[in-house]
A and B are shown apart, each in its own frame.
Chain A
């Protein structure tokens, strides 16, 4: 089945450590997105990419980095500069022009 796979489902980070969240899609979508969701809140955009080897900052990009070397993959690194990384991270993809975004089932990141 076509879809978006995020891994791992749960992730723990030590202070000062970088961690990378995986997102893979086999929907042949051009655009991919990373969102952060905090308890009782909506989704906030971290980074997005409309095409391979190109990506743009979203509303809360500080402390995060991404790469888009392949169409189907858009990994997110939470760096040690992100002082409040505990959250639920969601990856999504879409065709570029105004089509609905499809989401993975998220990665929950916690600090040890």
Chain B
């Protein structure tokens, strides 16, 4: 039978523009969030993380914003470059009983970012 592939969200930007990639998470008990970048044929690469007691965290050219009220996470990339082209995943960690996080992550579907020179 015919198979139907999933279509990932896509974002196309011009080199030098700022990019914003969004992610909705599902569980209000999630206490730790990570953004990963995955290039074709490679494993995901850690970009930045944020804990639920924060609403903003900045790295080099990247900023993550967390809105717990609406369960929304975003990744902002400043001055996007062609080398930023990849699939970007958000991941959430749901706190285990006792309040400690042992690192079991649930991943989103991903967003394809294409940067045009």
- Partner-B contacts on A (CB < 8 A): 4, 6, 31, 33, 35, 39-45, 48, 50, 58, 90, 92, 94-106, 108
Contact = CB atoms under 8 A, between A and B. Distances in A.
B5 interface: yes
Contacts of A41: 6, 109-110
Contact of A45 (B7, B43, B104, B109): B104
Given A98-B32, A106-B43, A40 B103 contact: no
B49 interface: yes
A90 B43 contact: yes
Contacts, number: 72
Given A41-B6, A42-B110, A96 B89 contact: no
Contacts of A97: 100-103
Given A41-B6, A96-B102, A102 B109 contact: no
Interface residues of B, number: 30
Interface of B: 5-8, 31-32, 34, 36, 41-46, 49, 51, 89, 91, 93, 100-110
A61 B71 CA distance: 28
B104 A40 contact: no
Contacts of A94: 103
A103 B43 contact: yes
B89 A43 contact: yes
A22 to B, nearest CB: 14
Given A90-B43, A90-B44, A100-B49, A40 B101 contact: no
